[in-house]
């Protein structure tokens, strides 16, 4: 943020408004620590509540404790209630509780990933914001800080946090599909009514899980909106930057870290598909379009915000082609005049001359501008998203090929 300037008598109204904007942006973040000023993901009312119990900022051990706490509030009570009613391991049930793959994926794998994701993703997004500061023009620095402060306010909003919790609580009462039982004998029901474990799962465990997902959805919306807002500012892009995106390649690097959310979402689909395959006779081939849909959905959700920078990149490339095209023409014209048209009067040796290297440099610079992309999407980013969405489905291959047969095929193909 620029230094504060005291208003004088002849200062214009626009200058005063600009100064007030800077001061208001500073006031928003004054109650936050330096580490929190640029934090869009890590924080919020729930984080502050956990911090009071020593589970906030800290090492990986504290994150592990939060994961353990969540499992203790969701899956563990369900397991205890299932054992009390003898539906945890019951040979008369087609789906005993301890064999329900969907619930294990949801509460033992997906939930910890969502909790760990906050600690993994936030440092990278903070680095992205810091690198943006170098690209923002001085006249837009106050507006940039205003955008950051707005995102932080959204993250810290107690009203939003409570609204998300209310939606999670009301969801079982509004969505009848959540209260539907398995069509096969399972731990969910006893004598045609909900078991204790299923009741707890529907109204407590899935409520907490839904809240966890809604919080991530809200924070990702804040991040996406921030990217869209930044794309409207005057960015100092360079068409010859070696990342082929005018210097915005770091944004794609930060966005790649959301692969952990993609993996968590895929695990939900994996659990549901595994139950259908193992207990209801479905086949992996019949459900292949679910895998395709998950991959496509992940690509759409996590690449769309990056497209907001495409107009700026297209403008940068267009201006770069004009500027470097003019530079190239001027240089090659001078080169042609000196070394071709007036070769007889030029007594210098062309072999090893600096003009030759400069000609190659000009050609290389123009080629870089031609190669510049107008979207911040590269092969590494797309590959990361696709692998994160697809790899959780890999164990389902064992429903088609037994492990020994699969290993035999791999062995034969290698040796």
Q: pLDDT tens-digit profile of 61-96?
A: 788 898 999 999 999 999 999 999 999 998 888 899
Q: pLDDT tens-digit profile of 87-138?
A: 999 888 889 999 999 999 999 999 999 999 988 898 899 999 999 999 998 8
Q: Is the pLDDT of residue 12 over 60?
A: no
Is there a domain that residue 185 lies in?
Answer: no
Q: Which helix (H) or strand (E) holds 194?
A: strand 193-194
How far apart CA 108 and CA 71 sit, in angstroms, is 7
- Pick the residue with more confidence: 140 or 26? 140
CA distances 271 to 122, 176, 190, 362, 396, Å, are 28, 20, 23, 56, 10
Q: How many residues does the chain have?
A: 415
Q: Is the pLDDT of residue 9 over 50?
A: no
Structure tokens at 95: 């789906």
Overall average pLDDT of the 40-50 stretch: 77
DSSP 39: -
Q: Give DSSP secondary structure letters for 264-276.
A: HHHHHHHHHHHHH
Is there a domain that residue 294 lies in?
Answer: no
Is there a domain that residue 251 lies in?
Answer: no
Number of domains in the chain: 1
- Pick the residue with more confidence: 174 or 246? 246
> Mean pLDDT over all residues of the chain?
83
Is there a domain that residue 345 lies in?
Answer: yes
Q: Which of 55-59, 168-172, 273-277 has the lowest mean pLDDT?
A: 55-59
Query: In which domain, by residue range, is 360 found?
Result: 315-371
What are the start-end ranges of the E strands in 263-337?
none
Is there a domain that residue 328 lies in?
Answer: yes
How confident is the model at residue 18, as a pLDDT? 44
Q: Is the pLDDT of residue 45 over 70?
A: yes
Contact criterion met (CB below 8 Å) for 185 and 117: no
Best CA proximity match to 324, nearest among 382, 364, 267, 264: 364
Structure tokens at 98: 């301890």
Whose structure tokens read 């045609």? 192
Residues above pLDDT 70, as percent of the chain: 80
How confident is the model at residue 181, as a pLDDT? 63
Q: pLDDT tens-digit profile of 336-358?
A: 777 667 766 666 666 666 767 77
Is there a domain that residue 362 lies in?
Answer: yes
How confident is the model at residue 57, as a pLDDT? 57
Whose structure tokens read 């609204």? 163
How far apart CA 112 and CA 71 sit, in angstroms, is 8
β-bridge mates for residue 95, sequence order? 186
How far apart CA 70 and CA 46 sit, in angstroms, is 13
Is there a domain that residue 351 lies in?
Answer: yes
Is there a domain that residue 269 lies in?
Answer: no
Q: Give DSSP secondary structure letters for 226-241.
A: HHHHHTTS-B---TT-
């Amino acid at each position: 943020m620029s230094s504060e300037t005291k208003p004088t008598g002849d200062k214009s109204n626009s200058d005063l408004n600009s100064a007030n904007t800077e001061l208001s942006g500073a006031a928003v973040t004054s109650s936050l620590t330096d580490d929190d000023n640029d934090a869009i993901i890590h924080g919020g009312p729930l984080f502050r509540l956990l911090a009071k119990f020593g589970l906030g900022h800290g090492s990986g051990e504290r994150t592990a404790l939060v994961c353990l706490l969540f499992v203790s509030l969701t899956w563990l009570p369900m397991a205890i209630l299932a054992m009390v009613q003898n539906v945890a391991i019951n040979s008369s049930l087609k789906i005993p509780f301890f064999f329900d793959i969907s619930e294990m994926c949801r509460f033992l794998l997906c939930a910890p990933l969502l909790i760990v994701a906050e600690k993994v993703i936030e440092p990278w997004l903070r680095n992205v914001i810091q690198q943006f500061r170098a690209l923002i023009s001085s006249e837009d620095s106050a507006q940039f800080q205003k955008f950051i402060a707005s995102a932080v306010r959204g993250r810290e909003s107690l009203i939003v946090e409570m609204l998300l919790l209310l939606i999670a609580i009301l969801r079982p009462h509004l969505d009848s599909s959540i209260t539907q039982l398995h069509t096969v004998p399972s731990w969910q029901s006893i004598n045609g009514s909900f078991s204790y474990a299923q009741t707890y799962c529907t109204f407590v465990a899935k409520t907490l899980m839904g809240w966890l997902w809604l919080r991530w959805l809200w924070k990702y919306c804040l991040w996406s909106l921030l990217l869209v807002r930044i794309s409207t500012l005057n960015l100092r892009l360079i068409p010859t930057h070696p990342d082929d995106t005018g210097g915005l390649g770091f944004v794609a690097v930060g966005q790649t870290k959301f692969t952990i959310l993609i993996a968590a979402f895929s695990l939900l689909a994996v659990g549901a598909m595994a139950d259908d395959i193992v207990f209801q006779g479905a086949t992996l081939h019949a459900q292949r379009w679910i895998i395709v849909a998950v991959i496509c959905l992940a690509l759409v959700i996590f690449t769309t915000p990056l497209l907001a920078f495409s107009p700026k990149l297209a403008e940068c490339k267009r201006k770069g082609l004009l500027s470097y095209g003019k530079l190239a023409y001027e240089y090659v014209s001078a080169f042609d005049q000196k070394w071709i048209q007036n070769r007889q009067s030029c007594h210098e040796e062309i072999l090893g001359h600096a003009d030759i290297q400069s000609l190659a440099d000009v050609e290389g610079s123009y080629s870089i501008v031609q190669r510049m992309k107008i979207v911040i999407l590269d092969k590494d980013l797309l590959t990361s998203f696709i692998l994160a969405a697809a790899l959780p489905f890999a164990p389902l291959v064992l429903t088609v090929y037994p492990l020994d047969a699969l290993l035999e095929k791999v062995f034969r193909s290698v040796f």
